[in-house]
Structure 1
């Protein structure tokens, strides 16, 4: 009991410090939320009124404007007017993308048009001096490059995690390319290729080529120690972007660099850790513990068979039945994977004799599942919505949650049943999550054109497995039954997928 009290106290302190520091990043700023047409827009600008250049900041695939807050607050705290927004189909934008993601041209032109509308509205802001820079991540790196090519009045472009065949040796004006040092080699090679167009094939990271005065400046930055999402929180990314825009506009101020990564990590770690002492409040739902008695050999079979079969069985099957890009495939992947896991587990238990079913209290199961589910969604969700990505759903996304839950519920029930219990093998949970990620990797390899973006979100899925896996483990120990943790995990994964992946009309 004393240990739980100490952990609770430390967790609450960590949460308080994290929230205080995250809120403090906006000190001295006026933050205005508005819309341009139906596009949600947020304007960050210094409280002291003065004319300044505008930096329009665009998020990547399956992101939202919250992801770009570190750049926005860095720019605004240093005297710029920073503008973020939710692209079509993303975040709280109610208008879906239209077109075929593999064809690209239709969606690209629509996103460029939307960026143009936001940029035009930003240029008309009362404190704007009509000078403009653009910054985009991943999918949006190509959009901002193309937009700047078509609009020579854009004086600086920052392309993060870049891929853009449109860039030339001299256009767009003053192009900075940032790639995480831990990102795939193809992105680093693309960044080097773009800068080499102006450097005569001899470009190296960290060196500036060309001249800001005539708009030919080019530079590749490898942000240290970060991958595709971490690059959005990197000190290197913030510092180099600010320095680049300052050079383009002839400004010097560099008083603030956003450092929210550490505080965000402290906040989320505190929320995870707080779940352990709180789990003691959950009712015991089973009179005898549920036992997982498979030895390692059958456990390996139960883990790897679904991982191998699921992507193969879904390889040629159409899975585009929901108005959410890739979310429908994930729902079917979860469903089939869970069904195969359950079938193999039942077969193996019958061969080994299995263990007697535990007597349980269904009302207590419902209470525990509701409590854990609310903790996962509300206590995690509110700070995530404020500081990471859009988590509070718009009405159009609520039916999608129910549809995706039809896949996540069977998967998590089967997985928790396989990996929890008084005699569960140490490392079983880690094994089954590795196998699930392996199955997604196989699916991407079989159909890269359709599923490429799944590879980008693997680190996010891994973090979710880790955080909510700990919570479901503590839930099992308190309730003696895997169902509350399984249902809570299924709910939060369905929620996260439904609010994250872009809505699309094909």
Structure 2
């Protein structure tokens, strides 16, 4: 191993160790208990022996309990009993989402009922003498607002509601009575929705101002410098949520917001950086594939990107219990197969498949990186229902990533080829969503996941490809991509 690889290994190991230490410190001193509300998995966070108010925490679309930990940990350390859960179809929840996603009486009604079931569990486990609050992000904001209204009608009023990145048509001038709406600075339309909720109480309400009419209190606040995901880690947003709840329950002694976001980035960055020195331990390929001429490259990238949406949307028949996963598998297998033919990979030569290198990349990208994600950031460990989805997705992701590895030079190609290949994929998927928006609109939501995958796993794959060849990098990345997609998107049943 070269000096440079040794130096990178030392720095990365220190970064990983420091990050894990800080992230575990954020959890230290808390009782963290796994619970079940029917089929719904939940986690209770609380200080030992402290009887604080109950706060039920709900995540957004394609999220999980882990994504909400900055709020859960901070509020638990402040003396609240925090119950976070996975909505149906999300995280570890084995029950798929179902119903009409466009109707309030469809999927939304099911999620409201599920939230109320979790509330019932929390009240039974914690008691409700200290009061009850709801906190949710994005999709969950409409759900928790409607759950609060339903609880009030049933004679079990919720004392406070905190919405993050809110959109809900259920908010009225009188309900929920005590509502905080937090938005990220770069969430323009959601900021407007939050301010509109405050102006139902006072027409000239401004952001950052608490307004009141009788028993109704509203506040719309902005977390600076963040967007739809960053707002979940913003110290300003977390502090505002805690202060709002403290005021609602007459509590004092606010704690500093738990800052997990920077340490999650440092941990995942350290794990990626460790890949570089570890790749140096793999056997080095002696033969490189022939360079692909520019004309053939453009043909292999652009023609499939244009043709596949036209073909795939015509023959697509849903068969997997995950939103658009089956279409994505079909799209990728057609795209990858056509690219392999146009690239004429059988003429490029290069090293044979290094199964050990491919397995090492898959184990590192799924096992080490994935387990770190699962503990601190987002659900990455699948339940049994998702394993079938992952296996099916691999039929598309593996040939696509092998073709991509050849097209982009397997870690040795020019940067513009990587950008062109990724952009062609994104445009191809966007075209499919435009052709059949009723069934495939959720493809647009996949694009940020794919971008993050290419930035993180793609970098690890480039190092493997440069040393061991495109087949090893493509196979390993294909398995990683199938896993990442299989655990990210909600299980869904049309029934």
Q: TM-score, normalised by structure 2?
A: 0.93
Whole-angstrom distance in 2 between the partners of 1:41 and 1:139: 18
Q: Say which is worse superposed, 252-261 or 301-310, in terms of deviation.
A: 301-310
Q: Secondary structure at the match of 2:173?
A: coil
Q: 1:457-472 to 2 correspondence within 5 Å?
A: 457-472=446-461
C-alpha displacement at 1:176, in angstroms? 1.4
C-alpha displacement at 1:85, in angstroms? 0.8
Q: Secondary structure at the match of 2:373?
A: helix
Answer yes or no: is 1:302 the counterpart of 2:294. Answer: no
Q: Secondary structure at the match of 2:94?
A: coil
Q: Give the equivalent residue in structure 1 for 2:26.
A: 25
CA RMSD of aligned residues (A): 2.2
Q: Give the equivalent residue in structure 2 for 1:415.
A: 404
Distance 1:306 1:44, change over 3 A: same
Q: Give the equivalent residue in structure 2 for 1:278.
A: 278
Whole-angstrom distance in 2 between the partners of 1:440 and 1:170: 43
Q: 2:211 aligns with which of 209, 219, 232?
A: 209
Q: Give the equivalent residue in structure 2 for 1:473.
A: 462
Q: Give the equivalent residue in structure 1 for 2:161.
A: 157
CA distances 1:35-62 after superposition (whole Å, capped 9, x unpaired): 1212111000112x23211110011111
Q: Is this contact kept in 2: 1:81–1:128, CA < 8 A?
A: no
Answer yes or no: is 1:342 the counterpart of 2:330. Answer: no
C-alpha displacement at 1:139, in angstroms? 1.2
Q: Is this contact kept in 2: 1:12–1:270, CA < 8 A?
A: yes
Q: Secondary structure at the match of 2:42?
A: strand
Q: Secondary structure at the match of 1:226?
A: coil
Q: Give the equivalent residue in structure 1 for 2:125.
A: 125
Q: Secondary structure at the match of 1:217?
A: strand
Answer yes or no: is 1:175 the counterpart of 2:179. Answer: yes
Q: Is this contact kept in 1: 2:179–2:219, CA < 8 A?
A: yes
Whole-angstrom distance in 2 between the partners of 1:471 and 1:361: 20
C-alpha displacement at 1:215, in angstroms? 4.2
Answer yes or no: is 1:43 the counterpart of 2:44. Answer: yes
Q: 1:389 aligns with which of 378, 388, 405?
A: 378
Structure 2: gaps spanning 5 or more residues: none
C-alpha displacement at 1:132, in angstroms? 0.7
Q: Give the equivalent residue in structure 1 for 2:201.
A: 198
Whole-angstrom distance in 2 between the partners of 1:443 and 1:195: 39
Q: Give the equivalent residue in structure 2 for 1:94.
A: 94
Q: Give the equivalent residue in structure 2 for 1:331.
A: 329
Q: Say which is worse superposed, 271-280 or 216-225, in terms of deviation.
A: 216-225
Q: Secondary structure at the match of 1:427?
A: helix
Q: Give the equivalent residue in structure 1 for 2:491.
A: 503
C-alpha displacement at 1:434, in angstroms? 2.3
Distance 1:103 1:314, change over 3 A: farther
Q: Is this contact kept in 2: 1:180–1:231, CA < 8 A?
A: yes
Q: Is this contact kept in 2: 1:292–1:419, CA < 8 A?
A: no
Whole-angstrom distance in 2 between the partners of 1:423 and 1:325: 35
Distance 1:260 1:457, change over 3 A: farther
Q: Is this contact kept in 2: 1:291–1:420, CA < 8 A?
A: no
Whole-angstrom distance in 2 between the partners of 1:250 and 1:272: 45
Q: 1:357 aligns with which of 349, 352, 355?
A: 349
Whole-angstrom distance in 2 between the partners of 1:318 and 1:39: 32
Q: Is this contact kept in 2: 1:293–1:424, CA < 8 A?
A: no
Whole-angstrom distance in 2 between the partners of 1:104 and 1:407: 34
Count matched residues: 489
Q: Is this contact kept in 1: 2:389–2:486, CA < 8 A?
A: yes
Q: Say which is worse superposed, 14-23 or 443-452, in terms of deviation.
A: 443-452
Distance 1:315 1:161, change over 3 A: farther
Q: Is this contact kept in 1: 2:316–2:330, CA < 8 A?
A: no
Distance 1:361 1:298, change over 3 A: closer
Q: Give the equivalent residue in structure 1 for 2:252.
A: 252
Q: 1:68-147 to 2 correspondence within 5 Å?
A: 68-103=68-103, 105-126=105-126, 128-147=128-147
Q: Give the equivalent residue in structure 2 for 1:491.
A: 479
C-alpha displacement at 1:274, in angstroms? 0.4
Q: Secondary structure at the match of 1:88?
A: coil
C-alpha displacement at 1:447, in angstroms? 4.3
Q: Say which is worse superposed, 67-76 or 313-322, in terms of deviation.
A: 313-322
Whole-angstrom distance in 2 between the partners of 1:453 and 1:444: 8
Distance 1:333 1:173, change over 3 A: farther
Structure 1: gaps spanning 5 or more residues: none
